[in-house]
Amino acid sequence: MVVVSSSGISGAVKRSGPAQSSQPQIIKPRQKIQRDASTKLNIIIVGAGLGGVGAAIGLLLGGHDVTILESAPQIAEVGAGIQVLPNASRLLQEWGMKEALDRYSTAPSHVNMLGWKGNTITRMSTEDSAKLYPGTAYWDFHRANLHKCLVERAEELGAKLVVNSKVANVVAKEEGAQCFLKTVQSGKRIS
């Protein structure tokens, strides 16, 4: 079975430009929590993919310090399209990214489920589905654009991104939650 969106390979409908939500309700961006040293964590995330950078944004908004170690020599995302569903578009708006993402998103009108012979198995209206979750939308992106916006937001919030840092080992110490990360290139320990 092949699952495609209408802005994808089926090509039935494609709207370029800013994503349109039929919902008037606005999802407000979260404010960054201010913490003192007694509750602020020093967090290391391994890998600057969509997951790692997204986690960094959530943790930074939670008031913690975040360092992301990436093995590649530069921060980048490869690949093709990615579909963002209502739960994720809600988070991206809460992370204060709507304006930046509006430049790159397209809004599919339907998701078609096709059999291998191209026959339609079922079809779902994304607009009707998003109405069940006010303020959200279905968005499609090129991965590189979504990733670029996430990296920019993480850096704006204070993330420290370190490339050429392949993590070879993590050692959790019993007397605390401190971890030691040994990077392959430098052999240095980061805590």
Ligand X SMILES: Cc1cc2nc3c(=O)[nH]c(=O)nc-3n(C[C@H](O)[C@H](O)[C@H](O)COP(=O)(O)OP(=O)(O)OC[C@H]3O[C@@H](n4cnc5c(N)ncnc54)[C@H](O)[C@@H]3O)c2cc1C
- Position 111 contacts ligand X (CB under 6 A): no
- Position 47 contacts ligand X (CB under 6 A): yes
Return the H-helix or E-strand segment holding 167.
Answer: strand 167-172
Name the minimum Å distance from CB 178 to ligand X. Answer: 18
- Closest to ligand X by CB, 90 or 166: 166
Q: Tell me how many degrees the CA angle 113-114-118 measures, rounded to the nearest 5.
A: 160
Return the H-helix or E-strand segment holding 99.
Answer: helix 98-102
Asked if residue 163 lies in contact with residue 68, where contact means CB atoms within 8 angstroms, the answer is no
> Which of these segments, 16-24, 49-57, 109-117, 125-133, binds ligand X (CB under 6 A)?
49-57
Tokens representing 173 are 């110490």
- Position 166 contacts ligand X (CB under 6 A): yes
Return the H-helix or E-strand segment holding 92.
Answer: helix 86-94
Q: Tell me how many degrees the CA angle 14-8-118 measures, rounded to the nearest 5.
A: 120
- Position 171 contacts ligand X (CB under 6 A): no
- Position 3 contacts ligand X (CB under 6 A): no
Query: Which residue of 50, 91, 144, 163 would you call a contact of ligand X, by CB under 6 A?
Result: 50
> Which of these segments, 27-35, 65-73, 101-109, 153-161, binds ligand X (CB under 6 A)?
65-73
Terminal-residue alpha carbon distance, the chain: 46
Site string for ligand X, 4-43 (x = CB under 6 A): ----------------------------------------
> Does residue 181 sit in helix, strand or coil?
strand
- Position 49 contacts ligand X (CB under 6 A): yes
CA dihedral 101, 103, 107, 113 (to 10 degrees): -70
- Position 71 contacts ligand X (CB under 6 A): yes
Residues forming the site for ligand X (CB under 6 A) = 46-52, 69-72, 82-83, 166-167
